[in-house]
Amino acid sequence: MSNAYSLFQIIKYILWIVSVLFMMQTLGISITVLLAGSAALLVGIGLGLQQTFNDFISGIILLIEGSTRIDDVLEIDGEVVKIQEIGIRTSKGLTRDDIVVIIPNSVITTSKVINWSHQSKKTRFRIKVGVAYGSDVDLVIRILEESALEHPEIKDKEHINARLVDFGTSPLDFHLLFFSDNVFRVEKIKADIRKIISRKFIENGILIPFPQLDLHVKDISGNHNQKNS
C-alpha cells in the first residue's frame, strides 16, 4: 500500500509539471526564452528558496527510496510521530498526544531519525523503578515481573525480565524489561504497568524513597565575635 501511495504521488507531481509546460506551450510562451530572460531572477529566487528546494528534493527521495512510509512510527528530536501523509515538500505526522504536526521533508532525510517500524514487530522497552534500601530484592523482582504479566499488550511474556541495576544515592535501582508491538502507544502501556507496580508495592509494604538531602548549618557567629574582641 505504501509503495502504491509513493508511486501515485510521484505520478501526480509529474502530471502537474507536464500540464504546466503544456499550457505554456499552448499559450505560445517559449520556455527557453522565458528561462533565459529570467535567469538573474531565478538565481535570486533560488537562493531565497534554497530550503524549500531542499524540502522538495527530500520529498522526492522519501517517495522513491521508501525508507519512510505511511503509518511508520518515527522518533525525531525526541518526539514520536506516526506518519499520516508524505507530501512533496512536507509530511504530516500524528503525535502521541493526537496533535498533527507538519514536518519539513529535509528534517526526515538529514536528521538522526529512529524508525520504530523498521524494527521487528515487537520492541523491547524498560521501566525504571527505585525502592528503599533494606527491601527484599527477590520480592521486588517478582513483583515487577508479575506486574508486566498482568498487562494484555505485553508480548513474549517468557522474556519479561526485572533486574537490580545499581545502588543509587537514595534507592536501589531496578529495571523492568518487556516486549510490546504497540510502539506508538507504549507510554500508555508503561503508565498502566506503573500503576500495577505501585499497587503491589503498597500491598507488600515496599517503599519508594523520597529524594533526601542532608543540610549542615555551621554557626560562625562565635568566631566572628572572637575576631572583634
Dump pLDDT digits (tens) for 112-139: 898 888 766 678 899 999 999 999 999 9
| pLDDT, position 95 | 93
What does the alpha-carbon distance between residue 6 and residue 226 come to, in Å, rounded to a whole number? Answer: 84
Dump pLDDT digits (tens) for 17-66: 777 767 766 776 666 655 555 555 555 555 556 777 788 888 888 888 87
What does the alpha-carbon distance between residue 29 and residue 21 come to, in Å, rounded to a whole number? Answer: 9
Element (H, E) at 119: none
CATH of domain 123-203: 3.30.70.100
56 C-beta neighbours (distance < 10 Å), count: 18
Question: Number of C-alpha atoms within 13 angstroms, CB side, residue 30?
Answer: 5
Domain limits, the chain: 2-117, 123-203
| pLDDT, position 160 | 94
- The residues, any chain, with a CB within 8 Å of residue 3's CB and separated by 6 or more, are 66
Question: Does pLDDT of 226 surpass 50?
Answer: no
Instruction: Report yes or no on whether pTM surpasses 0.85.
Output: no
Dump pLDDT digits (tens) for 208-222: 987 766 677 776 665
| pLDDT, position 181 | 85
Dump pLDDT digits (tens) for 74-116: 999 888 999 999 888 899 999 988 899 999 999 999 888 988 8
Q: Is CATH 2.30.30.60 the classification given to domain 2-117?
A: yes
What does the alpha-carbon distance between residue 178 and residue 182 come to, in Å, rounded to a whole number? Answer: 12
Report phi then psi at 81, rounded to 5: -135, 150
| pLDDT, position 210 | 79
Helix, strand, or coil (residue 93) = strand
Report phi then psi at 119, rounded to 5: -75, 180
